[in-house]
Each structure stands twice: as structure tokens, then as C-alpha cells.
Structure 1
Amino acid sequence: MLRVVLTLLVALSFSFSHKLIATTYPVYYPLYYIAKGRQNVDVLIKTQADPHHYELTPKDAQRLIEADLVFTLGVEGWEENILRDLPKGRVVLLKDGISFVKYGKFPDPHIWLSPREYAILIKNVKEALLRYDPQSKAYYQKRYEEYMQKLVKLERAFANTLKNCKYRTIVSTHRAWDYLAKDYNLRTVSLTGVHAEEEPRPSEIMMIIQTVKREGIKYIFAELGQDKKVADFIASQTGAKVLLLNSSLFPRRYSDNYFTIMEENLKVLKEGLQCR
């Protein structure tokens, strides 16, 4: 009996000996789901601070060094900086096949906020796992198909909800929703760029105020976990109310995942755009 237990312990320790790290929660959620049971998966950025301005800590640097693979979208400057010194074969870039919206030469990373665009990243995660651990191909494929079924259901909910809205303009303090707008026939008016902590210019604030007044918009959207004093000021000048969206997908509850967070985002959008 003892021999059997020891054999099982050795097998379990081997099966969980590999460590995979996702740089952000949008990468972590599908990686964790698909690889759960075969790999140890962790996320690099665990704080609610704007991930666009992430700075590597000594502790996080050690975690990256110890990881067998690091999964990242790979389009932001901080990603390039922290991954530059890692061996090439240990970095998995997930941007293949994605048509990024660009502002000048800078790509917008927020593809996860449209379920349609997010599907490409999820497939890239699965393909990387198949290359890394081909012996578990059937397992990863099954988990991937389960995840995609959930994504299809979520996408239908977005399509059905957002097709019947009184307002079709998302006025936000963070430019994160352009992929969603493109895929669901909406329009965005944003106060700042893709970084939620950027300071807006007075002219940008005035432009938002004029848009809200001109179009009779009742709600504006701010970023959950970020300073919303500018949003509150715009609301005070227009009579609009402020609603909070979670564009970073930071989990507020232990049970949170991509689907629970995006379902909450959809509820907020439904209220703010007054969808039927």
C-alpha cells in the first residue's frame, strides 16, 4: 500500500512540476482553464493598478526566471522590456493572427473585451500548450473546446443585448472598448488613451462634456479600480451618472473568471446604453 501511495505522489509531483506564467489576467484565464490538471499556472500582475504601467519587481523577476514558459500578448513596451532577457524558447507570444487597432504606431491590447476577438488569443494559448506538451493533446483539446463553448454563449449574449440599445455611444474615461464597438456596431468616445492612468487634457474633457450634452447621454463609464474624479466632474457638468467597467479583468472575488467579469461588464453596458 505504501508503495502505491509513493508511486502516486511521484506521479503527481511530476505532472505538476512545470510552471507556466501568464503576464496578465486576460491571458491567465484561458491558460489556467485549459492547462488545469496538467500544469501549474500563475499570473504575473496580481494588483489592480493599471497593467499598462507595470514595473517589474525583484520578486516577479525571480518568478519569471523560474517559469518554464511565460505567456504574453507581447504588444506593450513593458512586456518587451521584461521579457527581453528571458531565453527565446521560454516566451510564448500570443499575438499571431490578431488584427490590432492602432493609435499611431501603438497597438491597442484590449482584444479580450470583445468575445469575437478574444477567440484568437484563446486558440493561440491552446496551440502553444500542444507544442509544449503534445502527450496531453487530447486533454488540452477537450478543455479548449469547453472554454470555446462558454465563449460562444457569452458572445451570443453580447450580440443579443447590444443590438437593441437606445444609445450606441460608449463614453468612457479609458480607451479600452474599441474592439467591442467595432464588433457590435457601437461608437466610442474616450477621455484618455489605452492607459487608464493617463492625464486628460482640458480640451478632451470639454469634448466629452459637449458630446454628452449634445447626444443626451445619461451614463458615462469609468474604470473599476482607477481614480474617477474626472468622470465625476463630467457627470456634475452634464447630469449624467457614472458606471464602472472592468477592462483589466481584475478579479474582485475568488470565484471570478473571464466569463463572470464580462457578464458583469455586459450588465453595466446594458444599463448605461439602455438596452432592451
Structure 2
Amino acid sequence: MNVRRLIPATAAAGAVTLGLVTLSACSTSSAADGRSSDGKLKVVASFYPMQYLAEQIGGDHVTVSTLTRPGVEPHDLELGPRQTAELNEAGYILYLKGVQPAVDKAIAQSEAKNKVDAATLTKLEHHGTEGGHSHEGEEAGHDEHEGEAGADPHIWLDPVKYAEVAKGVGTSLQKADPDHAADYKKNTNALLTKLNGLNSAYQQGLKTAATKTFITTHSAFGYLAERYGLDQEGIAGIDPESEPSPARIKQLQTIAKKDKVTTVFFETLASDKTAKTLAVDTGLKTDVLDPLEGITDKSRGRDYLQVMESNLAALQKALGAK
């Protein structure tokens, strides 16, 4: 009897072992083909604007992680071993070349099959590196701008350009995961509807502005300024950590008087010291204009659309739009 009982028990143990081996093999295979254990496409986004696109378009068919944690200044990001491993296991990587040098380097070395650079999905332009009015830059082809020094990467702050990127992301996800192509297309169209509505709100909300000039610490709003006929005057350049020269500060004081500027804008992820100093020296107010490089508990909204709507309200107030 004891022997007979041992035989099925041994067989059962073997079956369990076989099952574990099979499960392990499936997990390894899943990681290798860029999918999570539940079969969803593993998407890694470089920072928040890319994360938002991936979540909105990918929907229920993707799991999205971001390399840049909330509250971290994206430009300064350095990758650890865990983040590098995420890149190698990803089924799809969405990033914006030129924003995060460490990320660009790691993605170039990643074994992921699908790597999408948002900068190739629209046209980048050049805006002044230290202040100066935002102006129409020379629009070269996509490849000419990839990684080009001086090209402004802040395309997500222009709803029209962001929509162009969204279209490209939707198309690339359909190719990366053709089984769910119909849903990706549907989600893309839904997002485009939202972004078109946002563009219309900005057009209507800013057309009666009493002044067209706004001063901001970080020259991130060049595309937005061009789109809606405004003049951005940056205290610092494209890099939010750069320091303005004394001559630039004096120039801004003159511009503020001449163009009847009321407000100096600062952002949530960088120091507001320079903005507040300039505001005190010129008798101006301060307010937040968020470059949307990350969402934190200090953000004026829970996602891209809400923060962009808050930015519009802040601009309307500062520019005297009715």
C-alpha cells in the first residue's frame, strides 16, 4: 500500500516540477519578447509627456513604466541598473531625443526591438537659447534635426505638434502589436480629438490678449508662443538650470516696461529664485507656467490636459485676455 501511494505522489511531484519549469520558461520568453506575464506589451517611456501618450494610446493592451520618477528634473536624469534592465526587457520604448542625454545613450544600447524617437514624428525648430523673442526657425527634415545642438525639444507644449507625435505613436504601436491595431487606432483618434479641442481653447482664449509678451524662467514655450502669436522672453535658455547674464536681466526689465508685462512665470521642478528676484526688481507678479516635464502633487492638474488648461488660464490672466 505504501509503495502504491508513493507512485502517484511521485508522479504528482514531477508534474508540479514540470509545471514550474514550463511557467519559468514562459516568464523568460515573455521577458524576451517584451511582454509582461499577462501578455501585455511592456512600454517604457522616457519621461511624462511620452508616458501620457503611451497610456492614452496603449490603453488596456500595454503596461507603461517611466524612467523619470515624479518630481525628478528630466534633464538631469541618470539611469540605474533597474532602469537599464527595463529598457532591455521592453517591447516598445518611447522617448524624445535631445531631452535626456543619459537616456539617449542607454536606449541606443538597448536590445529592445521597437524604439520610437518622438523627435522624428514632427519637425523640430530652433528658438533663442537665452531669451529673445520666439521666432520661426528653419524647418529642416526630421533626420537633420535628430540630436542637433540648439534644436528645441519642447514639442509637447504645442497641442498641434503633440498631436502629430500622437499620430506617429499610434501608427508605430499598431505595427509593434498588430493584434490590437484596431484599438490603438481608436485610442489615437480619441486623443487627437482632445488635443484638437485643447488647440481650439488656446486659440480662442488668447486672441484678445492685451499684450503678447510673457517672461518665463525656462525657455520651454517657444512652440506654444509661435502657435498662438505670442512672444516668449526667457530668463534662462532651453536648459532650465542655466543662469542669465546681468545684461539679460537688464534687458528683461526694459522689455517688461515697454511691453506692459505683468507677470514673471516660474515652474514647479526648478528653482524660482531668479524669477522672484526679477519680479521684485521690476514690480511684477509671479505665477506658475508648467513645462509639463513631470506631474507631482504641486502640479495644477492630474494629467497633461488639466495642466495645459491651467497654463492657459495663467496666460490669459497675465496677458489680459478676456
Shift of 1:202: 1.8
Give the conservation status (yes or no) of the 8 Å contact 1:249–1:261.
Answer: no
Q: CA deviation at 1:215?
A: 2.2
Deviates more, 1:74-83 or 1:161-170: 74-83
Aligned to 2:16: none
Q: CA deviation at 1:249?
A: 4.1
| Aligned partner (choices 254, 264, 269) of residue 310 of structure 2 | 264
For structure 1, which segment, 66-75 or 238-247, has the greater mean C-alpha deviation from structure 2 after superposition?
Answer: 66-75
Unaligned runs of 5+ in 1: 1-11
Q: 1:49-68 maps to which residues of 2 (within 5 A)?
A: 49-68=72-91
Q: What TM-score do you get using the length of structure 2 for normalisation?
A: 0.77
Q: State the 1:66 CA deviation.
A: 2.4
The equivalent of 2:103 in structure 1 is 79
Distance in 1, Cα, partners of 2:81 & 2:289: 31
Q: C-alpha distance in 1, partners of 2:183/2:114?
A: 22
- Which residue in the other structure is 2:265 paired with? 221
Larger CA deviation: 42-51 vs 100-109: 100-109
Instruction: Please state if 1:154 is matched with 2:198.
Output: yes
Is 1:29 aligned to residue 29 of structure 2?
A: no
- Give the direction of change, closer, same or farther, for the CA distance of 1:181–1:31 in structure 2 (3 Å limit): same
Q: Indicate the SS of the match to 1:95.
A: helix
- CA distance in structure 1 between the aligned counterparts of 2:296 and 2:61, rounded to whole angstroms: 26
Q: Which residue of 2 aligns with 1:47?
A: 70
Which residue matches 2:152? 108
CA distance in 1, matches of 2:313, 2:88: 40
Q: Report the Cα offset of residue 36 of structure 1.
A: 1.6
Q: CA deviation at 1:261?
A: 1.2
2:284 alignment counterpart: 240
CA 1:161/1:175 → structure 2, altered by over 3 Å: closer, same or farther? Answer: same
Q: Which moved more, 1:81-90 or 1:166-175?
A: 81-90
What's the CA shift string for 1:9-64, capped at 9, x where partnerless?
A: xxx95333x31011011111121011121111111101323212222123322222
SS in 2 for 1:170: strand
Q: 2:188 aligns with which of 131, 144, 167?
A: 144
1:191 paired with 2:215, answer no
Letter in 1 for 2:261: I
Q: CA RMSD in A?
A: 2.0
1:201 pairs with 2:270? no
Letter in 2 for 1:47: P
Identical columns (%): 28
Equivalent pairs, count = 264
| 1:196 and 1:223 in contact (8 A); partners too | no
How big is the shift at 1:88? 6.3
SS in 1 for 2:120: coil
Shift in Å at residue 82 of structure 1?
A: 2.2
- Secondary structure of the residue aligned to 1:84 is helix
